[in-house]
Structure 1
Amino acid sequence: MSYKRLLVIGLIPLASCCGIIGCASAQSKESARQRIVGVWRLESRTVRKGTGEVVLDPVLGKSPSGRLFYDAGGNMSLQMMRQDRTEPISVRSNPDETKNPRIVLGYDSYFGTFDVNEAERTITHHVEGSLFPEDLGKDFKRFFTIDGDAFTLRFTSKSAEGSEVTRTLLFRRMR
């Protein structure tokens, strides 16, 4: 076998290893924004009360369903629902039912754009459309962590009773 041929045969595995190492290195250098892009499945939403007690979110229950979408163009969409929602009374039989929150109780949905602040580890959802009109035009700032295929959002809000609580949403990347 010629020297050139041995050199080429020897360099192919070396080049492959360098390529693999280069790819792994490139993945570790991805920005948080790049790692967030994709489709995420909601696994849980918990509430930490002012007392420190952590409970399941009363609106979504013990096994919520949901999808969170982020695209590379900066668009996002979130839909979440409680699995054991009850059927409302027919709107046709009771026109006032259209304003009854029971129709949407246990469901939340909004869409818009997003920005990531890597230094603060925050993501801000700029709401352009929402199930709830009072949310239109609002910015929802969330703290986030990414650990492999786990994505966590955390934010502070008011409970139904008016006390401050911290809500934590755990998502898994869908493949």
Structure 2
Amino acid sequence: MEDIAQRIIGTWRLVHSIRVNSAGETEYPYGEDAVGYIYYSDTGIMAVQISRKSRGAAENLARLKRDYLAYFGRYEIDTEKRVVRHFVEGQLFSGDHPEVLERAYRFDGDRLSLTPTDGTHREILWQRVSKQSKDE
């Protein structure tokens, strides 16, 4: 059986963050040019940041909330349910995210698809940048 824990460890660059609305149209919550990284350590720590690339100066917090996502914490992998759970310990805006975020995972070559299990029609697609070595 494949060792999912070893496959997920490392740094991943955002390919896209999409949402499919009720009309079946694809939306890009952080823009089509969004940038971001997610990192999973071999010690069970994760961090993620996604930003609208073409954002201007944040003149108010409401705009920043639409333009930037960031949180970190511990994570665990449930291979039976094929989900990774993010235990949010800190986030850009307190209360934006629940304490536990569950994402269905799927690998396709050097890509990792994370899909929230909350019933929303979203996908966050990542491409591997590096794999963490045991010496890091």
TM (norm. structure 1) is: 0.68
The alignment covers a number of residue pairs equal to 130
> How is 1:21-170 mapped onto 2 (pairs within 5 angstroms)?
29-51=1-23, 53-57=24-28, 59-89=29-59, 97=60, 100-135=61-96, 138-157=99-118, 165-170=120-125
69 and 77 in structure 1: CA distance in 2 versus 1, 3 angstrom threshold: same
Structure 1 gap segments, 5+ residues each: 1-28, 90-96, 158-163
| Separation in structure 2 between the aligned mates of residue 50 and residue 133 of structure 1, nearest angstrom | 29
| Separation in structure 2 between the aligned mates of residue 137 and residue 55 of structure 1, nearest angstrom | 25
Can you list the C-alpha shifts for 1:50-83, whole angstroms capped at 9, x where unaligned? 34x14132x3011210000000000000000011
Poorly superposed stretches of 4+, deviation over 2 Å: none
Give the Å deviation of 1:36: 0.1
CA RMSD of superposed structures (Å): 1.9
Structure 2 gap segments, 5+ residues each: 131-136
TM (norm. structure 2) is: 0.86
Structure 1 contact 127–135 (Cα < 8 Å) conserved: no
Higher helix proportion: 1
Give the Å deviation of 1:147: 1.8
Provide the identity percentage. Answer: 29
Point out which structure has higher relative CO (alpha carbons under 8 A, 6+ apart). Answer: 2
